[in-house]
């Protein structure tokens, strides 16, 4: 997965991780350095060749050194490349966001047009698809700070459970329609949207996406306005349409980013997967070198 290129010692051997281990098995963090410096490519080395000798380490330390014929990016702890597994996970992350946005778009159209011809069970199926899409994205999102990611997933879980509870206890009425007619039900599904707010903050802070920043502010205003009744019906409808538009733009524009931007610094994931004593050893060696 990560091809760690040594500085003074062979970092790949010190990490004692498989060459292609998935970085998502490591502990995540909030936002990967979005502009990891790309090194100039050099002739490809044999993929399975590896030496821990001082000569090999010194050779690998040269600018532009790389372990295979792929672009190499400089990380905090080592250099890294984008592997096929990385691409699949990033695509799945973005696809989940698009499924959630599409479900939101469909349900909003049904609620605002009072489309009684759409059975409630179908509406709830669309909701379930959207909830599943966001859940997959929150599972795959690349973040460095594990507690923040777990907190967002916890909010998502509470809100999803609230939606399921409404679907099972309200005589089969669609969840969006019930929430629209009963503002107090925001307490049940609100945590789900709090997770959306957290994801919007992450994307806005990491990549400066204006739609994500706007989504971070619009989402709580929409929910609190509906819960308290302080926003008139026309204003609430405008907020809802704005929310849907921002979600759609946000999900669609994710496809315009480079894959590496959604990965972050894989060397950090490798480092965080190490035992504490190994981390301390690498920290000591890095401090000596610098």
Q: Which two tokens stand for residue 31?
A: 């936002």
Assess if residue 265 is contained within a domain.
Answer: no
Co-location of 232 and 124 in the same domain: yes
Q: Which two tokens stand for residue 52?
A: 């821990």
Co-location of 279 and 182 in the same domain: no
Co-location of 78 and 90 in the same domain: no
* Environment class of 92 (CB within 10 Å of its CB; exposed 0-12, middle 13-18, buried 19+): middle
What is the Cα gyration radius of the chain? 23
Rounded CA separation 123/121 (Å): 5
Distances, alpha carbon 162 to alpha carbons 42, 61, 159, 222, 246, in Å: 54, 53, 5, 18, 24
Co-location of 50 and 78 in the same domain: yes
Q: What tens-digit pLDDT sequence spans the chain (290 residues)?
A: 333 333 334 444 444 443 334 444 444 444 444 444 343 344 444 444 444 443 344 334 333 334 457 889 888 887 888 889 999 999 999 999 999 999 999 999 998 887 778 899 999 999 999 999 999 999 999 998 989 999 999 999 999 999 999 999 988 789 999 999 999 999 999 999 999 999 999 999 999 999 999 999 999 999 999 999 999 999 999 999 999 999 999 999 999 999 999 988 888 887 888 888 888 888 888 788 76
Q: How many domains does the chain have?
A: 2
Assess if residue 239 is contained within a domain.
Answer: yes
Assess if residue 264 is contained within a domain.
Answer: no
Stretch (H or E) spanning 136? helix 120-140
Rounded CA separation 59/71 (Å): 18
The domain of 149 spans 85-259
Rounded CA separation 90/261 (Å): 10
Co-location of 54 and 94 in the same domain: no
Co-location of 211 and 173 in the same domain: yes
């Amino acid at each position: 997965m990560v091809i760690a290129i040594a500085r003074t010692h062979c970092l790949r051997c010190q990490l004692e991780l498989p060459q292609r281990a998935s970085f998502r098995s490591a502990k995540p963090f909030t936002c990967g350095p979005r502009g990891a410096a790309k090194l100039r490519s050099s002739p490809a080395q044999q993929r399975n060749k590896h030496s821990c000798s001082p000569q090999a380490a010194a050779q690998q330390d040269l600018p532009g050194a790389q372990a295979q014929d792929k672009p190499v990016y400089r990380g905090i702890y080592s250099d890294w490349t984008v592997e096929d597994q990385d691409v699949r996970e990033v695509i799945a992350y973005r696809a989940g966001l698009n499924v959630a946005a599409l479900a939101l778009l469909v349900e909003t159209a049904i609620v605002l047009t009072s489309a009684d011809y759409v059975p409630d069970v179908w509406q709830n199926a669309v909701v379930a698809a959207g909830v599943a899409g966001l859940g997959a994205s929150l599972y795959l999102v690349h973040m460095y700070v594990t507690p923040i990611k777990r907190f967002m997933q916890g909010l998502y879980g509470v809100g999803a459970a609230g939606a399921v509870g409404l679907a099972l206890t309200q005589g089969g009425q669609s969840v969006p329609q019930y929430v629209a007619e009963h503002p107090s039900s925001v307490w049940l599904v609100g945590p789900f949207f709090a997770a959306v707010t957290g994801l919007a903050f992450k994307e806005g802070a990491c990549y400066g996406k204006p739609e994500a920043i706007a989504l971070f502010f619009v989402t709580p205003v929409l929910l609190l306005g509906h819960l308290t009744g302080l926003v008139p019906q026309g204003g609430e409808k405008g907020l809802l349409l704005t929310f849907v538009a921002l979600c759609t733009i946000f999900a669609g524009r994710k496809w315009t980013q480079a894959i590496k931007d959604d990965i972050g610094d894989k060397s950090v994931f490798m480092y965080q997967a190490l035992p504490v004593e190994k981390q301390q050893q690498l920290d000591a060696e890095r401090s000596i070198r610098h």
